Structure 1
Amino acid sequence: MGYIPIFFDVTGRECVVVGGGEVAARKVESLLEAGAHVIVVSPRLSPPMREIVADGRVTHLARGYQRGDIAGCLLVYAATDNPKSHRELAAEARALGIPINVVDMPELCAFIAPAVVKRGALQIAISTGGASPAFAARLRRELEDQFGTEYTLTLEVLRAARRRLHADEIDPAERMRRLTDLANSALPDAIAVGDAAAIERILATHLGDGVSLATLGLAPAEFSH
């Protein structure tokens, strides 16, 4: 099997999760966090899934999977204890051209779900090609220690800087140079220790005199410890 990494924009799109257990609940939470409209198909729900359904965050079909349930959706997760249902669901997904992930059955998957480290807009996806999800989880834990919460704020600054330079209609080559230099600067280190003065110096150096957290539309207090 060969895989390429890809990120789906699921905002406002319909995604189906077949299954009501804890694994299915984790898939649902990830989809909801990304802004998807989620349909859950399952006659039984685990406590985490019951809470999600009770909050009205998903559409719940309180029965087993039936052919046609996934028509028109963007992607599907199958997480039940019924291999026969998984095979039928995978066959329908293939016929409809809908990507499907079947938990613990990589031979039926059109895509596999990576372990993910998330820090705001930053997402680091880890895959072992289905060889060992447990090892992918280990690597995720190691990367979570390496990439702290400062990367959330770093990406907020970089996004704001990019917007500012586009609005100023800077020459594209010069804009790229400034943004590249800022991305390669000590900005994450300054944010990690809450050194607001150093952050401001970095911004002025790479974006120009007068550019600051405030002029980028960011609250300086969020960057000070």
Structure 2
Amino acid sequence: MEDNHLFPVFFKLNQLHVLVVGGGNIGHEKVNALLENCPSAYITVVAINFQPELIELVKDAPNVELIRKPFSCGDMLGKDLAIAATADRELNQYVWEKAKSSRVLINVADTPELCDFYLGSIVQKGQLKIAISTNGKSPTVAKRLKEVLQEVIPSSINEVLDKLQVIRDRIKGDFTEKVKQLNRITDVLVRKD
């Protein structure tokens, strides 16, 4: 049985610079996902052509730059993450090679074996954000789980989080003692009575 060895992280996209190569449907999908999670994300999109929906999407995004030109290795300079989002497998492979030689983490759309990271399904309710990954096996399952979680997580979760932050700030003691107290307080969330 194959294990999922992915380590989930949440990038602060307003502090990193993302390169997206591709201005078509795939590029639009990836830029949209980035902006949905961080409207102030720093994104540079390089493509020969941009679909109108992508141009419309980024018109009010202050930190997104569209550059109409073919991809070149210099586009990797100063980037922290890259996404190869074209329908051209050879171009995606070339972008991957340049990212690897530049030590830039890369996601190659629909090519899990060339990905350093995946863009998982995201559930967000207020300040709570949950990422779902199937290790590249089935984005459809991730999408369905997202729908279920979106429905069952109460809209009042922000109030719960705010109250727990106040409690956490008031708890005295070392880290271990704080964890014990917070575990006792939040036990009600998982208790099966």
> Is 1:180 aligned with 2:190?
no
Larger CA deviation: 118-127 vs 26-35: 26-35
TM-score by length of 2: 0.81
Shift of 1:15: 0.9
The code of the aligned residue for 2:149 comes to L
* 1:148-189 Cα deviation digits (max 9, x unpaired): 322233223222332344xxxx12354333322332236xxx
Partner SS state of residue 75, structure 2: coil
Identity fraction in percent: 31
> Is 1:29 aligned with 2:32?
yes
1:121 pairs, out of 124, 127, 139, with 127
Q: Is the CA contact 2:120–2:133 (under 8 Å) kept in the aligned structure 1?
A: yes
Alignment of 1:10-49 (within 5 A): 10-32=13-35, 33-34=37-38, 35-49=40-54
Q: Distance in 2 between matches of 1:163 and 1:26?
A: 39
Partner SS state of residue 12, structure 1: coil
Q: Is the CA contact 1:120–1:155 (under 8 Å) kept in the aligned structure 2?
A: no
Unpaired runs of 5+ residues, structure 2, are none
Q: Distance in 1 between matches of 2:105 and 2:17?
A: 13
> Is 1:144 aligned with 2:146?
no
* 1:33-76 Cα deviation digits (max 9, x unpaired): 33431111123223331113322531111122111212221111
Q: Distance in 1 between matches of 2:93 and 2:76?
A: 14
Alignment of 1:1-225 (within 5 A): 3-7=5-9, 8-32=11-35, 33-34=37-38, 35-57=40-62, 58-165=64-171, 170-172=172-174, 173-185=176-188
* 1:125-154 Cα deviation digits (max 9, x unpaired): 211111111122122112222223222332
Compare CA radii of gyration and give the structure with the larger one: 1
Q: Distance in 2 between matches of 1:24 and 1:160?
A: 41
Unpaired runs of 5+ residues, structure 1, are 187-225
Q: Distance in 1 between matches of 2:70 and 2:118?
A: 23
Q: Distance in 1 between matches of 2:76 and 2:162?
A: 36
Aligned length: 183
TM-score by length of 1: 0.71
Q: Distance in 2 between matches of 1:85 and 1:158?
A: 48
> Relative contact order (C-alpha < 8 Å, sep 6+): which is higher?
2
